[in-house]
């Protein structure tokens, strides 16, 4: 790791074992409060709020890798606590925030509606938050507007991966706007081209590396 390394804390939300992340830069200073990025707040936002307080973090942005309900369910609680904290999502999944059919909550009888986005992200742009810089890559297949974010500030690099690539698996593609062909292409073009030691923080399950998945993933070969 470089001197200013990227750190993260995962909070697993039920009922879908969804990974919400707090991500920040460890700059080895004595700051009383450190800014962080809140990623994909799920159905148990109280756990996220408690962890933020325990770690003395201050959210500077709320990021959704995509708009499915298990990854946006905690948006409202985050915005209620920090109303000036921008809510950010890929431009092609923005509509899912406020449409219970599109975000897949209505079929489960939940009718979940998120606050609207304060900012949308597009493929190829650079996004800065909490002292970190990320390259945005659109990775459709699980959700049409899914994005991953690549941070090169520490060694190894870190990818906020959402529901694209898992350890030994990939995101589901049987939703209305899903496509296994698109997902496979996105993984091969936008993830498998990264260094093998790049860490992937997935939306479900444990972290993995690009090299491990290229060598062993049964769904998308390297």
Over residues 47-68, the pLDDT tens digits come to: 999 999 999 999 999 999 999 9
What average pLDDT does the segment 170-187 reach?
Answer: 97
- What are the strands of the beta sheet with 208-209, ordered from one edge? 126-129, 132-138, 147-151, 158-162, 199-202, 208-209
Contact 163, 65 (CB under 8 A): yes
The pLDDT value given to residue 26: 85
Give the pLDDT band of residue 109 (cuts 50, 70, 90). Answer: confident
Instruction: Provide the mean pLDDT of the chain.
Output: 95
CA-CA distance, 180 to 142, in Å (whole number)? 8
Does the pLDDT of residue 3 top 60, yes or no? no
CA-CA distance, 218 to 165, in Å (whole number)? 11
CA-CA distance, 167 to 148, in Å (whole number)? 16
The pLDDT value given to residue 2: 39
CA-CA distance, 146 to 154, in Å (whole number)? 24
Q: Half-sphere exposure of residue 166, counting CA atoms within 13 Å on the CB side?
A: 15
> Does pTM surpass 0.75?
yes
Which tokens belong to 206? 């444990």
The pLDDT value given to residue 213: 98
Does the pLDDT of residue 194 top 60, yes or no? yes
Does the pLDDT of residue 83 top 50, yes or no? yes
What average pLDDT does the segment 140-145 reach?
Answer: 98
> Cα–chain-centroid distance for residue 67?
10
Contact 87, 80 (CB under 8 A): no
Q: Domain limits of the chain?
A: 5-216
Q: Please give the CATH topology (third level) of the domain spanning 5-216.
A: Metallo-beta-lactamase; Chain A (3.60.15)
Backbone angles phi, psi at 59, to 5 degrees: -60, 135
- Total residues belonging to the chain: 222
The pLDDT value given to residue 29: 62
Q: E-assigned strands of the chain?
A: 5-13, 18-26, 34-39, 57-64, 87-90, 119-121, 126-129, 132-138, 147-151, 158-162, 165-166, 169-170, 199-202, 208-209
């Amino acid at each position: 790791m470089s001197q200013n390394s990227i750190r993260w804390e995962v909070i697993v939300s039920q009922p879908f074992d969804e990974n919400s992340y707090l991500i920040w830069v460890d700059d080895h200073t004595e700051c009383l409060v450190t800014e962080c990025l809140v990623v994909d707040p799920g159905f148990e936002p109280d756990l996220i709020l408690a962890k933020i307080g325990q770690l003395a973090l201050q959210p500077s942005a709320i990021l959704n890798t995509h708009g499915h309900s298990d990854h946006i369910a905690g948006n409202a609680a985050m915005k209620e606590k920090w109303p000036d904290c921008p809510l950010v999502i890929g431009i092609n999944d923005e509509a899912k925030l406020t449409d219970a059919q599109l975000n897949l909550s209505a079929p489960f009888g939940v009718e979940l509606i998120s606050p609207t986005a304060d900012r949308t992200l597009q493929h190829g742009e650079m996004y800065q938050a909490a002292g970190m810089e990320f390259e945005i890559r659109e990775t459709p297949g699980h959700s049409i507007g899914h994005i991953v974010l690549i941070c090169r500030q520490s060694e190894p690099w870190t990818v906020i991966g959402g529901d694209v690539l898992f350890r030994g698996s990939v995101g589901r593609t049987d939703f209305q706007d899903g496509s296994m062909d698109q997902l496979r292409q996105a993984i091969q073009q936008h993830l498998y081209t990264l260094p093998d030691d790049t860490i992937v923080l997935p939306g479900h399950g444990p972290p993995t590396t690009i090299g491990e998945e290229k060598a062993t993933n049964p769904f998308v070969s390297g």
